[in-house]
Structure 1
């Protein structure tokens, strides 16, 4: 099987930039089910601010802001984040949302222990190598305050597209122009080492449907939220 290299991630970065530019608001205005769940978990945990990784055009970031959180939204697409800023202004949420163009293959430009909660919907399962995913999880751990909560979703190896399309190695398969790193349970457990793993919830999304896991984990040092369930 071919080895996945940085050129795959670079090509995907350009693909997503072009996609957001050509299809404004491509995911609609309604928040994802994962974001609705995460907001409830963050509220129970007493979080005041949320860092969203891979915010895209901002449907979930705007939902968090509407729930009363201060939101820092990152994405590597300036086009997507531009749409987010414009929509936040229209909704009167501009003061609650800040954006940052950022490639998650690089360290997060935030101080240690500076955020209460982190959310990432299908960002962790983009065209990132396993070492890059582990590095990103370490960065999330670094910027979270003690007791902080991390909620993320990933497509997993039970998904219908796993093994389909172009194989790039490291469980990354490209189908329809989008490359996905499909997670197995061993990777989820590895990323939870040193955390309290509160929940691994299986759900489906979209027309295929895509099969995902929603993972909730907390850092030691604070009251653990109830992950709930669906």
Structure 2
């Protein structure tokens, strides 16, 4: 259960994204992110069909997966972003893409072992506590089928914005209105406990650039750490 301070920050961040998406349609452009292009290849190699994206925003990555033929469930807590994504999918005739407004602090409204792959680009490092992140990863494991794949990215503690702005505790800092939970490597390892950790990569994104972990793991199998 969220504490009062966490609930307040969550509400502020929801309003932040509502305003950003409403004011800047297609703010990230039409091209998929590099992590999404990577994930699509991993999912295809694994024989995935059903893909769940958490934190889809305006949907450039979900659209990419759908264009490649995956059956996509695109979710975000911002109805402004989801509405724009739905309109674009309809304009392209992508009937294999479904959208839903979803709060990831609550249990995922999906059946056990119901998807082949989950993708979350920068969702886990938003204004979520370590406990909420841990619970969410547990939910992701629950909804993945055996042999499924989870690819996610988070900003890490080597990012230039780490320790910049308003400190909210739990390695979370708010800068220019955006609160980010920066991940030390040990948190990535802890979250992979009981998973098959296939790959950890350091990648960059944007003009600064932001510094990210890109993680690939499966609910079963042996653990293989990469640097």
Question: Are 1:77 and 2:87 matched, yes or no?
Answer: no
Corresponding position of 2:37: 36
Q: Distance in 1 between matches of 2:39 and 2:98?
A: 19
Q: How many residues align?
A: 223
Structure 1 residue 18, shift from structure 2 partner: 1.4
Q: Distance in 2 between matches of 1:137 and 1:219?
A: 10
Q: Distance in 2 between matches of 1:159 and 1:220?
A: 31
TM-score, reference length from structure 1:
0.93
Structure 1 residue 4, shift from structure 2 partner: 5.7
Q: Residues 74 and 102 of structure 1 are in contact (CA less than 8 Å); yes or no, is this contact kept in structure 2?
A: yes
CA deviations 1:115-167 (Å, max 9, x no partner) are 00000000000000000000000000010001110000000000000000000
Aligned pairs (5 A) from 1:38-57: 38-57=39-58
3-state DSSP of counterpart to 1:5: helix
Structure 1 residue 5, shift from structure 2 partner: 2.1
Corresponding position of 1:108: 108
Q: Whose relative contact order is higher, 1 or 2, with alpha carbons under 8 Å and at least 6 apart? A: 1
Corresponding position of 1:62: 63
Aligned pairs (5 A) from 1:207-222: 207-220=207-220
Aligned pairs (5 A) from 1:1-230: 5-93=6-94, 95-220=95-220
Structure 1 residue 29, shift from structure 2 partner: 0.5
Q: Residues 4 and 170 of structure 1 are in contact (CA less than 8 Å); yes or no, is this contact kept in structure 2?
A: no
Unmatched runs of 5 consecutive residues or more in structure 2: none
Q: Distance in 2 between matches of 1:17 and 1:138?
A: 27
Unmatched runs of 5 consecutive residues or more in structure 1: none
CA deviations 1:205-227 (Å, max 9, x no partner) are 00111000100001117xx9x9x
TM-score, reference length from structure 2:
0.95
CA deviations 1:46-69 (Å, max 9, x no partner) are 000100000001100000001110
